[in-house]
Structure 1
Amino acid sequence: MFITKEKINSFEKGNKQEWLLTNGIGGFAAGTVLGSNSRRYHGLLFSAFNPPADRKLVVSNIHEFITYNNQEIKLANFECSNGYYELNIDNLIGFQNNFIPTWNYRINDIKLTKQIWMMEDKNATVVKYRIKNGANASKLVLLPLINYRDYHSERFDFSEFSQSTNFSKVSIKLDNAQNRFLTIISNEGYNFNENINAFYNMYYAKEAERGLNSIENQYMPGNFEIALNPHEEKVINIIFTTDEDTDFNLDLEYEKVLSRPSELITKAGFKDKIANELVKAADKFIVYRKSTDGKTILAGYPWFTDWGRDTLIALTGLTITTKRFDDAKSIINTFAKYVKGGLLPNVFPDVGETPGYNTVDASLWFFTGVYNYYLATKDKKFLKQIYPKLVEIHERYSMSKEDIKNKDTEVIYMCDDALIYAGNEHTQLTWMDAKVGDYVVTPRYGKAVEINALWYNANMIMSEFSKILDEKDIYTKLAKKIKKSFEKVFWYSKGKYLYDVVNENEASKKIRPNQIMAVSLNFPVIEGEKAEKVFDIVAEKLYTPVGLRSLSPDDEEYKGIYIGDIWSRDCAYHQGTVWTWPMGEFIGAAQKLGKEEYTVEKVVKNLEYHLSEETLGNISEIFDGDYPHTPRGCFAQAWSIAEILQRMEEK
């Protein structure tokens, strides 16, 4: 994926396009094509000190310039709060993003290539420069910009820092209490010149757009100066790491990173170019969790951790579709370890290991993940091992309102009609979970349509599993009752679609994408003409080229733009904002119903521009409901990629 100079000929254009690197343990690096920091989540090294959590920005950027003929040619691009910004794109020839972000510069007769890459399973980033000098002597000067703070925050004072330099190696003590260090190494032995200073008032335009603090300072420990004779060619590798072991075999680590894309693509077995881009993107979300000594899935970059719901929705597309069966098994085991009272966790906090259980759907998606894994592998031994956890979850969901009374548990129970009721007016247990303070933006307590579609699906899966393992089948009969009740409770005969949620106060007629799951899952709970009607209303009111709107534009509560402070954004989050992940369910429903106008090829074609124009090989979390559907939220979202990738295999 090569981006020419013409496409990044302004600060606005180059600042919009973002790249992402990850290290497999939760650490990451991210930035823009210009090399600028437009978010507080941009930096060359975010270390995960308790993988994949406790993530800190450690290296923000490098201020680079070349001196020759008494001139100083700056390469870096920064924006500051006083309106001043350095725009140095005249010498940038182009940018390439093929697993390793690469910048090509030409400064008169000097040629410079810069690459950024991260070592696998290490909190270490390498910035590699290859420079071919021109006819005059010159000098490349590199000034690292250092930080140390939680990745959701900002920092202004660095008086706690201390540093020591030993020729080409500098050690900066970042945290006295935690005894954490950053080591900067010139692999080729270029001396570091200690000159402590600060970069003041770096401005993050994306954070200002989100109504958050948008300014911070950076620590400058000094610089590397690399002198070049006329026509001399040099390679410079600057290593940044917070790991204790700094004895790296750089050539070996680099080769591992270079070979990874082809290994992933070969294993997945796709021929399609876009599918292969998504296979590479999928790899960024599958990470190691130290607390369980197993794999998990990060929900999104740059700010989400491993959410139960997101992980289990993304599981099939990211691991099973890509033939990463060992990873799939490890992830299933990771979450199985945390089943508590028949519930799976919704989130593992970024600091600490005590998860939250405020979700009704994560446990139900668990059945789907295990089922898809079994279909792909026929791993009966693992099925037998995990089956008791499935039984435990099913038993919890089968409890009546009376059963859970006075118990310290979420309000989730099965009603007499065999449908699941979850939550109350103060909770948000479905995926539409926006809440500001005590204000629940999209109250969906009661019998939610997708929850009961998932509940039916879970019972049908358990019916099959019980037969495979020669266990008692109590599930087939219950599934029949659920299906009968579902149609009776949820079918809105006047509108010819499904109610979104039904409780003691109302049956919500809001047109949302949740109803498509009654058609799309392994075992659809509605079929025939009613399934066709559900699909048609979703296609008519919610479909966009990049995903499904979370609410029909005809609704008086519809919000077409997702922008502003946290209140404004949360009030729009599920009130019209487009989500890509339900598009996967929409495609799945189209495949079941034979809707040729909504083939996966046509849908993916609409997303192709996004992969090259915005988040460079990734799919965003959300988009504006209104045209032109500007991407918002996380710039790389696991379930957005997973759901599309899954359907590309199923076509």
Structure 2
Amino acid sequence: MSYIHFDKTQLVNLNYSLDREIIRTNQSGTYTSTTIIGCNTRKYHGLLVVPQPQIDSQNHVMLSTVHETVIQHGASFNLGISKFPGNYSPRGHKYLEDFDSEPIPKLTYRVGGVLLQKELILDTNRDRLMIRYTLLDAHSPTKIRISPFLAFRSFHNLSKANTIVNKKFKKVPNGASFHLYQEYDPLFLQLSKKCEYVPAPDWYYNIEYIMERERGYDYQEDLYVPGYFEFDIEKGESVIFSAGLTEADPKTRQNAFQKEIARRIPRNNFENCLKNSAGQFLRNRDGETRVIAGYPWFGWWGRDTFVAAPGLTLTKGDSKTFLNIMDTMSKDLTGPLFPNVGSGVMTNMNSIDAPLWYFWSLQQYIIYTGDSKTIKERYLGKMKGIIDGYRAGTDFNIHVREDGLVYGGVEGIALTWMDAVTPDGPVTPRIGCPVEIQALWYNALCFYHELTGDQEIASLAEKVRDSFEREFWSIDHGYLADLVNGDEKDWAIRPNMVFATSLPYVMLNENQNDQILETVKSKLLTNRGLRSLSPDDLAYKGYYFGDQISRDNAYHNGTVWVWPMGHFVEGYIKLHGKSASNFIKKIIKGFDGVMTQYGIGTVAEIYDGDPPHRPKGAVSQAWSVAELLRMMDLTNKI
């Protein structure tokens, strides 16, 4: 039995199955995503979701879903499922026998004497999905009918019935192409064998996405069904349905499908699930290598890229991809700042920490490869520019104070990773000197000195070290202030202090680091990561739910994040050595169960602060996966 498997009793229970989603991506940035029963619950779900750079920098849902119908003796059995007001129709999930993830998503349906298997796979390098239908058993002549539901819209928006849709189609080998709106690429739908395409254009109204309703967004959509494809299928026969932005050769589909399967890492254990998931965040398009921060709705983010890149690549020995990522990102450096939210238009530079994580990421390359020469040759000038830019002062009032500490912030803008903003402004403004920024700044200075021997930078680092302990450490509290702004100090217990214990260069002694880690362990550590605020705090919110404002208010005020736990683990190992092994392995093993929850075979963005710490946010997050891989690697090296 494979590692991830769901049986009939689980699949037919909508309360269970609709909470479990699959996401698969390819190297061009295309993805396919839905629930394990094929019922879309988000506007971001779709069988073929692709970039359309001629329109904007977003992904677009081209093919939302398909409804398959099994036909025998003139009787039709629809295997599809969609949510409409008041009901699900059709209710094809009742025919499901099981779902298997090995090596690709595989659904098996039983309709009387018919046993039909459905497998989904993306072309690694093209904007194309392939679905393989295999008739495992049948006792009489069988036909399959496939009805495609087309959207042709940004994944942030919803489609509505209209009169401007282009209802014309073009015949192509074993299929048809559709070009609903002029600005879009055409969509080619083809079969690997000869079939009949029957045009029967129609709109399906008010299809509902229950997760969007729960999140307080518009949740009803109209989808266009141009007609259907119909073909005979014999017992033991496999037929492939292809949906792509370019025409495919029907004769090559079977071989293409098999080649894609051969490229897959088996998802037969926890570590392989993580490795599979890690590769899904890497996008190679137009000569650039990017890290997508999370699926389904994130683009590439500067901060997330530098935090996640080592875990996604170096832990797997893939230093080439790592350097490709850093080369791509280095071209985006503007002054001393990187784009915070990157999606093609680099106008949002409000990240005080992304440039400092850049140093850390490059350090990890040397730690894993021992190759400092490449870092000096390619990136030293960029690093110097960042240090000089911070010292000279840059946007958002980011500057180095006389005591060497980094100050940043202006009203109405969030600069750190705690960046939720509501109509009332940033939820955690953190204007002043945030604790993790000082830890990252000191580490960056020391790393630059290590590479260059620059004594002026070494002197500045010593000044930072002295100022940091004086300004942030409290003997009475036994931990670090989260923020210093003049005489004001914020003593809220947040995970930001943990970076002062984990980075390659740290400023405090072992006793101080021990006190910090024990505080974090007792107040913030859960079996899903670190809480973003102590439950003892009056501002703590234990559940992440409701509309956008409600969620944003909880996002960094108690919600659990996986990625900072990587630095808790690293700090803990640095302090305790081999004796930390069992404790850390237990933390990692605790994540084994998440592989069959929420995003199947991957790790969520966040979890509720209160038990049972339910998964929330994006179903698959780059730095969650990356830091778990790095934690495993750190533990193996103790």
Q: Give 3-state SS (helix, strand or coil) of 1:152's partner.
A: coil
Counterpart residue number, 2:357: 365
1:215 aligns with 2:216: no
Rounded to whole Å, the distance in 1 between the matches of 2:109 and 2:318 is 38
Rounded to whole Å, the distance in 1 between the matches of 2:33 and 2:147 is 18
1:5 aligns with 2:8: yes
Rounded to whole Å, the distance in 2 between the matches of 1:20 and 1:152 is 17
Q: Give 3-state SS (helix, strand or coil) of 1:46's partner.
A: strand
Residues 188-214 of structure 1 show CA distances to partners (whole Å, capped at 9, x for unaligned) of 121211111122211111111100111
Q: Closer, same or farther in 2 for the Cα pair 1:214/1:505, shift >3 Å? A: farther
Query: 1:261: how far off?
Result: 3.0
Residues 203-248 of structure 1 show CA distances to partners (whole Å, capped at 9, x for unaligned) of 111111100111101110111122346xx33222111112367688
Residues 96-147 of structure 1 show CA distances to partners (whole Å, capped at 9, x for unaligned) of 1135211012222211110111101211111110114422223221111111
Rounded to whole Å, the distance in 2 between the matches of 1:274 and 1:579 is 19
1:288 aligns with 2:321: no
Counterpart residue number, 1:496: 478
Q: Give 3-state SS (helix, strand or coil) of 1:398's partner.
A: helix
Counterpart residue number, 1:354: 346
Counterpart residue number, 2:324: 330
1:384 aligns with 2:366: no
Rounded to whole Å, the distance in 1 between the matches of 2:21 and 2:150 is 21
Residues 252-298 of structure 1 show CA distances to partners (whole Å, capped at 9, x for unaligned) of 53244222234x99xxxxxx9422221111000011243xx221100
Q: Give 3-state SS (helix, strand or coil) of 1:599's partner.
A: helix
1:19 aligns with 2:13: no
1:353 aligned partner, one-letter code: V
Counterpart residue number, 1:602: 586
Q: Closer, same or farther in 2 for the Cα pair 1:180/1:233, shift >3 Å? A: same
Q: Give 3-state SS (helix, strand or coil) of 2:228's partner.
A: strand
- The answer to whether the 8 A contact 2:178-2:186 is kept is yes
1:341 aligned partner, one-letter code: G
Q: Give 3-state SS (helix, strand or coil) of 1:61's partner.
A: strand
| Residues 249-648 of structure 1 aligned to structure 2 (within 5 Å) | 249-262=252-265, 273-290=269-286, 293-349=287-343, 352-379=344-371, 380-399=373-392, 404=393, 409-467=395-453, 472-504=454-486, 506-594=488-576, 596=580, 599-648=583-632
2:272 aligned partner, one-letter code: N
| Residues 23-422 of structure 1 aligned to structure 2 (within 5 Å) | 23-50=26-53, 53-159=57-163, 160-166=165-171, 168-176=174-182, 178=183, 180-228=185-233, 232-243=235-246, 249-262=252-265, 273-290=269-286, 293-349=287-343, 352-379=344-371, 380-399=373-392, 404=393, 409-422=395-408
Residues 428-452 of structure 1 show CA distances to partners (whole Å, capped at 9, x for unaligned) of 1000001113511111111100010
- The answer to whether the 8 A contact 1:374-1:383 is kept is no
- The answer to whether the 8 A contact 2:193-2:250 is kept is no
Query: 1:90: how far off?
Result: 3.3
Rounded to whole Å, the distance in 2 between the matches of 1:311 and 1:638 is 8
Higher mean alpha-carbon deviation, 590-599 vs 610-619, is at: 590-599
Give the structure-2-normalised TM-score: 0.94
Q: Give 3-state SS (helix, strand or coil) of 2:139's partner.
A: coil
Rounded to whole Å, the distance in 2 between the matches of 1:478 and 1:457 is 12
Residues 301-354 of structure 1 show CA distances to partners (whole Å, capped at 9, x for unaligned) of 0000110000000011001111111110011111111111111221223xx433
Query: 1:397: how far off?
Result: 1.7
- The answer to whether the 8 A contact 2:57-2:345 is kept is no
Q: Give 3-state SS (helix, strand or coil) of 2:310's partner.
A: helix
- The answer to whether the 8 A contact 1:26-1:53 is kept is no
Rounded to whole Å, the distance in 2 between the matches of 1:125 and 1:541 is 46
Query: 1:370: how far off?
Result: 0.9
Q: Closer, same or farther in 2 for the Cα pair 1:596/1:437, shift >3 Å? A: same
Give the structure-1-normalised TM-score: 0.92
Rounded to whole Å, the distance in 2 between the matches of 1:179 and 1:207 is 25
Rounded to whole Å, the distance in 2 between the matches of 1:355 and 1:324 is 31
Query: 1:69: how far off?
Result: 3.9
Higher mean alpha-carbon deviation, 372-381 vs 33-42, is at: 372-381
Q: Give 3-state SS (helix, strand or coil) of 1:94's partner.
A: strand
Q: Give 3-state SS (helix, strand or coil) of 2:519's partner.
A: helix
Q: Closer, same or farther in 2 for the Cα pair 1:593/1:179, shift >3 Å? A: closer
Higher mean alpha-carbon deviation, 275-284 vs 2-11, is at: 2-11
Q: Closer, same or farther in 2 for the Cα pair 1:246/1:335, shift >3 Å? A: farther
Rounded to whole Å, the distance in 1 between the matches of 2:535 and 2:505 is 30
Gaps of 5+ in 1: 266-271
Higher mean alpha-carbon deviation, 425-434 vs 241-250, is at: 241-250
1:303 aligned partner, one-letter code: W
Query: 1:488: how far off?
Result: 0.8
Rounded to whole Å, the distance in 2 between the matches of 1:84 and 1:37 is 11
Q: What root-mean-square deviation, in Å, do the aligned CA atoms of Structure 1 and Structure 2 show?
A: 2.1
2:313 aligned partner, one-letter code: T
Q: Closer, same or farther in 2 for the Cα pair 1:427/1:182, shift >3 Å? A: same
Q: Give 3-state SS (helix, strand or coil) of 2:178's partner.
A: strand
Q: Give 3-state SS (helix, strand or coil) of 2:557's partner.
A: coil
Query: 1:9: how far off?
Result: 3.2
Rounded to whole Å, the distance in 2 between the matches of 1:99 and 1:633 is 26
Residues 520-563 of structure 1 show CA distances to partners (whole Å, capped at 9, x for unaligned) of 11122223111111001111111111011101111111111111
2:345 aligned partner, one-letter code: E
Rounded to whole Å, the distance in 2 between the matches of 1:502 and 1:50 is 43
Rounded to whole Å, the distance in 2 between the matches of 1:245 and 1:235 is 17
Q: Give 3-state SS (helix, strand or coil) of 1:16's partner.
A: coil
Q: Give 3-state SS (helix, strand or coil) of 1:90's partner.
A: helix
Q: Closer, same or farther in 2 for the Cα pair 1:473/1:598, shift >3 Å? A: farther
Rounded to whole Å, the distance in 2 between the matches of 1:590 and 1:639 is 19
Query: 1:597: how far off?
Result: 7.5
Q: Closer, same or farther in 2 for the Cα pair 1:276/1:474, shift >3 Å? A: farther
Query: 1:70: how far off?
Result: 4.4
